[in-house]
Amino acid sequence: MRSTIKNSIFHLSKYLGLFALSRWLLRNKVRVLCYHGFTTKDEHLNVPGLFIEPQEFAKRMNYLKHKGYKVIGLEQAYQDIEQGVRQQDRVVITIDDGYVSVLRKAAPIMKEYNYPSTLYLTSYFFDKDCPVFTLAVNYMFWKTKVTEADFASLGIPALSNYKNCQLSKENKNKVSILIKEYGQPLKGNEKRVALLKTLGDILQVDYQQLNQDRLFNLVTKQELEQLEQCGVDIQLHTHRHTFPIDEEIAHKEIQDNKLVVNPLLGAPMTHFCYPSGVWSTRHWEVLEKENIKTATTCQTGFVDENSPKFAWPRILDSSRVSQIEFEAEVSGFNELLRMARS
Ligand SMILES: [Zn+2]
């Protein structure tokens, strides 16, 4: 209901020319778009905030072209901001994590429009024949039709009493959290894969099929090369998708990320994206020492000369965002509302 009212207000504002006015007022700011995965099967129904259907993404790209926005690379935007170059209606496309669907679904669309983009690649699950663990667990619980299950057979101490567990929404949530807490710190990825296979048997969701469909798998080395050939620039997103305040661990996350990915690329990796958007000014010294040029967050906003280089805001897009909401963001109408509110 709330979103219907909101969308009606947006449509009216657009009709009254307020989107066009906002765009003109904020014409010199850079809009950095943020995407994650692109739907292959039904991922956007499972995690609507992370995935978008390819046809919706194509609509967004077409809108940018049709409206005359200039899609530029992240490095170009950085150079512009550094040198005080003012150009109108600049848009940067960024994509986080590195799901296979970036190559299979998004890259062909961006290539059609000749749009450059940046992929922030997290490297732990890169080039591995398995899905990202936490997403696979969530998906299996979302997908299952089973109403009662025995989780004691998983061999997880915290689940030893979950023998005849009714799969209510609450229990699904509780059990999946316990599985993720147990599985994430495991040393050796084979143990996590074995856990997913057993969980698949318990929930009657075919793990082999999930892995074969590669819904939550990251790209391989060969696919990374193909992405580069499509004009996708590859940048940093930590190795284990975590960036704690602890200086030593934070450095190691960036260095491990570089160690795995950078030898495969033609240029040094100098741009960074905070995993899960969690950031603090206490990270900045680490980023400075690692010669990072920009770091993007998941905070919503536009970039200009006054934006701290290690806290560039972005515009998050996913299947949760309607076309009119996207237009309200890109035009700057929402940004002006936020500015007015603060
Ligand atoms: Zn991420």
Q: What residues pair up with 99 in beta bridges, in sequence order?
A: 218
Residues with C-beta atoms within 5 A of ion ligand 1: 96-97, 275
Q: How remote is the CA of residue 98 from the centroid of ligand 1, in Å? A: 8
> In this model, does residue 2 exceed pLDDT 80?
no
Count of C-beta atoms within a 10 Å radius of residue 325: 16
At 342 the pLDDT is 85
User: For 175-211, what is each residue's pLDDT tens digit?
Assistant: 999 999 999 999 889 999 999 999 999 999 999 999 9
Q: How remote is the CA of residue 97 from the centroid of ligand 1, in Å? A: 5
Cα separations in angstroms, 151 against 93, 107, 157, 184: 42, 40, 10, 17
At 148 the pLDDT is 93
Q: How remote is the CA of residue 275 from the centroid of ligand 1, in Å? A: 5
Q: How remote is the CA of residue 251 from the centroid of ligand 1, in Å? A: 17
Q: How remote is the CA of residue 93 from the centroid of ligand 1, in Å? A: 15
At 95 the pLDDT is 98
Q: What residues pair up with 273 in beta bridges, in sequence order?
A: 296
Q: How remote is the CA of residue 172 from the centroid of ligand 1, in Å? A: 24
User: For 48-61, what is each residue's pLDDT tens digit?
Assistant: 999 999 999 999 99
If we measure between CA atoms, which residue out of 126, 114, 104 comes closest to residue 257? 126
Q: CATH topology for 2-127+218-341?
A: TIM Barrel (3.20.20)
Tokens of 113: 């429009």
Decide if 285 contacts 247 (C-beta within 8 A).
Answer: yes
Tokens of 26: 């904020």
Q: How remote is the CA of residue 80 from the centroid of ligand 1, in Å? A: 26
State the chain's mean pLDDT as an integer. 96
> In this model, does residue 1 exceed pLDDT 80?
no
3-state secondary structure of 207: helix
- State the DSSP string of 212-260: HHTTTBBP-HHHHHHHHHTTEEEEE--SSS---S-HHHHHHHHHHHHHH
pLDDT band at 262 (very low <50, low <70, confident <90, very high): very high
Q: How remote is the CA of residue 274 from the centroid of ligand 1, in Å? A: 7
> In this model, does residue 268 exceed pLDDT 70?
yes
Decide if 233 contacts 272 (C-beta within 8 A).
Answer: no
Q: How remote is the CA of residue 50 from the centroid of ligand 1, in Å? A: 9
Count of C-beta atoms within a 10 Å radius of residue 220: 16
**Interatomic CA distance for residues 77 and 93, integer angstroms:** 11
Q: How remote is the CA of residue 122 from the centroid of ligand 1, in Å? A: 7
Q: How remote is the CA of residue 137 from the centroid of ligand 1, in Å? A: 17
User: For 198-250, what is each residue's pLDDT tens digit?
Assistant: 999 999 999 999 999 999 999 999 999 999 999 999 999 999 999 999 999 99
> In this model, does residue 147 exceed pLDDT 80?
yes
